[in-house]
Homo-oligomer: A and B are copies of this chain.
Amino acid sequence: MSDELVLLEFWPSPFSTRVKIALEEKGITNYERREEDISNKSLLLLEMNPVHKKIPVLVHNGKPICESLVIIEYIDEVWKHNSPALLPSHPYDRAHARFWADFNDKMFVNSLRKIWRQKGGATDEDKKEFIGILRSLEAQLGDKPYFGGQTFGYLDAVLIPDYSWFHAYNKCEQVSIETECPTLDAWVKRCLLRDSVKRCLPDNVKLYESVLELKKMYGND
């Protein structure tokens, strides 16, 4: 029996995009993407994720898997024979990757939300905090080409969609990630050359426009 796979998504969401990249990396392209209208959520989304009512949800043979980090581990485990493995093989490296994914989702995402939802834009303190978070991540990258080491892996897939927002961030807040975090910026550019990433990332200009909409919605334009 072939697998029936549906992804409930919302195109600008980095949480959707990281799942799409994970699927691409595993060579899973035969699945249906259903775009959600976030202001008018589908009955399917409400049924598949009654707890949080949020995208992304991966529906695998009728069964829902929710929360992007949980979904990526699920993909890596179900399609464990599809190369590459996304999580590292050693328990310590796996713990390290999970820690930094969690760090990103707690720290980076919250910092970015604060900046964009704040009336009058980012304060100098907000920007400093934001850059501090990026530098913590940059220190983890060190001189490796990818967070996964020599190869693109779980943490790269988790992080890159957030960092593709750099363009929008640069334009909105006049902070240059290229200058502030050159190693991280080089990693972004390296990832952007990758087929799986190129195929899944939303268009930068379209994303920038959606950020402007978002800022307007929060009275921060």
Contact = CB atoms under 8 A, between A and B. Distances in A.
Interface residues of A, number: 23
A61 to B, nearest CB: 9
A98 B71 CA distance: 10
Secondary structure type dominating chain A contacts: helix
A73 interface: yes
Contact of A136 (B51, B70, B102): B51
A91 B77 contact: yes
Contacts of A74: 91-92, 94-95
Given A70-B95, A70-B102, A73-B94, 10 more contacts: A51-B103, A51-B136, A52-B103, A60-B92, A65-B92, A67-B102, A69-B98, A73-B95, A74-B92, A77-B91
